[in-house]
Each structure stands twice: as C-alpha cells, then as structure tokens.
Amino acid sequence: TMAKLLLVDCIATGVLVFLVFLSSSDAFGISSAPARMFVQSRVGISHPPPLRAAHAAMGRSALGASMQGGSGGDKNAEVTLGQYTGLSVTLPRAEVSEAAVAKILKENAKDYRLESARFTDGEGGARMGHTVLINFVGYSPETGAELKGTKANMYELELKEGQKEPWSTFASNIAVGMGQDEMKSFVVTFPGDYAVPALQGKQVRFETYVKKIMKKVAKDPDTRQEEVQRADAVAQLEAAIERNNLEKVDQALRLELMKTCAADTTKATEAVSWAKFGERSTLDLQWQIIKEAIGREEGIKDIGAVEEFLRDSNTVNWVSP
C-alpha cells in the first residue's frame, strides 16, 4: 500500500513539473520548432501619440509607424513601417522574341527529346551514344587570340562515329568520359571545303566545356500547322515572361521597402545565432517581419496576399530593354 501511495505521489509530482515546464516554456518563448519564431511573427502595432494623427492622415503609408512585438515568444522585434504604398519602380520589360519562338518550333519538329543520362556504378562521363550540350570558344594556336565565328553556348552535339570535321575531333575528345562542367582544350583542323571560308584548312584550339550529358528519347514530331504551333509558343513564352516579371516586381519592391521600413532583429538573431548563416539570411528575416507587420496593419493574414497587395498598391514603370 505504501509503495502504491509513493507511486501515485511521484506521478502527480511529474505531471505538475511538466505543466510548470509548459507554462515557463511559453513565457520564455521556448518552442519545439525554433524556425516558427521566424515565420510566425507576433508583431503588435503601436503608434506613438505624435504619429497617430499623421498615420491616420497618410492612410496605408503608415509613415514612421513604430511597432514592437514578438517574433516568437519573448524574442522582440522593433519594426518601423515607412511608406509602403504609392511607390514607383522602373523595370525593363522582357518581350517575346522571334528567336525564342523559332527555337520552340525547331524543338517541336524533332523526332526526339533529350533527357539527362543516367550512369551505373563504375560508369561515368560522356560516351559515344550520348548527346552533350557544350560551350566552346576557338583560339588561334599561334597568337592565342579568339577567332570570330568559333564561339557557341549550349551547342547540341551527338557523340557518334563518322562525324565530319570539326565535329569528329570534338566527339573523340569528349566521348572518353568527360564529366559535366569539365573543360578540355584540343586542336581541330577544319577541312579545306568547310562552309565558312575563313576557317577552311585552318587549325583552331578549342576550349570546350561539357554543360550537360544527355540521351535521346524518341518522340513524335509536332505535325500541327505552323501558325497553331507559333501561337502556342508565343503563349508559353508570354506566361514565362509574366512569371519572371512578377519576381522582378517583388524584388524591386523589396529593395524599396527595405529602405523605407526597418526591422531590428538583433535579439532574435543573437539568441539563435541566425546571423551565422550570413547577411542574406538576416535580411530575409527582416523582410519577412516587415511583410507580417504590413499584413497586420492592413488586416491581411496570408503572406502571399501581402505581396499581391504591395504589387497592386505601387506603380511599376515598364520600359523597353
């Protein structure tokens, strides 16, 4: 009986200690997921008396609004919101080029597609049968000067026997196990009947970089009418440009708002050695807290919606590149 009483007493004491630990953990900001203190900021908004009237008059600009609160438990972050609407940024607008459309049409016409080559144990590097994407530059063996018309990036070369020069020399030098991002220098002798007169019979030293090692996989060529393929290609490119433009806008607005707004995260970064990950990580943390503060100011809970709000509330001047 005495043993049972002692056991019950120990269990009760343990439960009490656990509850006290939970209470103190919340009070001191202890969390089983430390990253949450940087993602789920609890920044409370408080405007100093002299700024309340000004802030009300300026509306969403919240110029000079001072904010204090936790970015996870007792890790306080002081946030000062400057103007975050009515700003203007100027960016170059990308446009669909004929070259980009032509490239898609060329890919559509092929009866194959390229996939990354897979290597088994003990095997590696480019071999005959692979297709490689290479960057190369040609130089004069005598003077070392770069020769006009001998430079290309992401050139597609099938490694196979029986290639005409200069590609036969390229293939034999690459298909000996050259690895991805490996560079090799070799001399090529162009044939006397080469299509470019300036290179006929000339020796050229090429520095060649293997960027990707691929294999061909059969596919059906696109047999739709060219105007249909062209319209589809333009739509693809426009969608890609739009996604890229959104990223440009977000980055430009971030740069502007990091000038007008500030988040002092010294306590948080020191507490968890956040700064050891570099200045960029600290700036990312500050930007996250600033966006959360804007969300609280505007009554917006979702960070993605805050970014959309900032795009809609500021002006982008697009200029031709």
- Structural contact between residues 62 and 84, judged by C-beta atoms closer than 8 angstroms: yes
How far does CA 275 lie from the centroid of its chain? 21
Domain 112-218 bears CATH identifier 3.40.1350.10: no
Whose tokens are 């005409």? That residue is 164
Q: What is the DSSP letter of 195?
A: S
User: What is the reported pLDDT for 64?
Assistant: 38
Mean pLDDT by 10 residues, the chain (321 residues): 46 42 36 28 31 32 40 58 95 92 95 88 83 96 93 96 94 94 96 94 96 94 95 96 94 95 76 60 89 95 94 94 75
Query: What phi, psi does 131 have (nearest 5°)?
Result: -120, 130
Whose tokens are 């050695």? That residue is 273
User: What is the reported pLDDT for 234?
Assistant: 96
Whose tokens are 């209470």? That residue is 23
CA distance 319 to 321: 6
- Structural contact between residues 46 and 79, judged by C-beta atoms closer than 8 angstroms: no
Query: Going by DSSP bridges, is the β-strand pair 203-218/131-139 parallel, antiparallel, or unpaired?
Result: antiparallel
Within 8 A by CB and 6+ apart from 220, the residues are 111
